Amino acid sequence: MDFSKLPLFSLVKQKMAYIDERHAVLAENIANADTPKYKAKDLKSVDFGKLVKASGGRLQMTATNPRHIQSAGAGSEFATETLKSWDTSPNGNSVVLEEQAQKMQANAGDYQAVTSTYAKMADLIRTVVSDK
């Protein structure tokens, strides 16, 4: 049985792809903290609840990185947005390291929650298919 075709597993995959892509965007912001005229970016938030409802239980996998394996019907990357910042340095850079660190921490918390959910789902399926 291909568990990736189960709607909940597909949603977990998509959420993990979002978390991974957001981590890359935030890391890029931190790496460019001293780059003149660099504008901080973030991913546009995705309402995964609406995504599930709109899919009718059938979610499509989205490739968020050119190195990902393409599947049939793979979508495009998550949309990024340039953030408007009240704290811009004299050289035009809008990256606030404390703000980026908070976002990285929140992203890490999302990762922990999703991996925990995935592990619990896998345990439930193992319990159902075991012969105990």
* Residue 49 scores a pLDDT above 90: no
Distance CA 28, CA 47 (A): 24
Instruction: Give CB contacts under 8 A, 24+ apart, made by 86-95.
Output: 91/36, 91/37, 92/36, 92/37, 92/38, 93/32, 93/33, 93/34, 93/35, 93/36, 93/37, 93/38, 93/39, 94/38, 94/39, 94/40, 95/29, 95/30, 95/32, 95/33, 95/38, 95/40
Q: Is 94 exposed, middle or buried (0-12, 13-18, 19+ CB in 10 A)?
A: buried
Structural domain tally of the chain? 1
For the beta carbon of residue 10, count every other beta carbon within 10 angstroms: 20
- pLDDT given for residue 76 in this prediction: 43
Mean pLDDT of all residues belonging to the chain: 80
Residue with tokens 């704290």: 87
Name the token pair of 92.
Answer: 């035009």
Distance CA 22, CA 15 (A): 10
Q: Number of helices (H) and strands (E) in the chain: give both, helices first.
A: 3, 2
**What range defines the domain where residue 90 resides?**
3-129
If pLDDT is split at 50, 70 and 90, which confidence band does 72 have? very low
DSSP 49: H
Q: What is the pTM of this model?
A: 0.69
pLDDT digits (tens, 9 = 90+) for 74-91: 344 577 777 776 678 888
Residues facing residue 42 across a β-bridge: 81
pLDDT digits (tens, 9 = 90+) for 6-33: 778 888 888 999 999 999 999 999 999 9
- pLDDT given for residue 107 in this prediction: 95
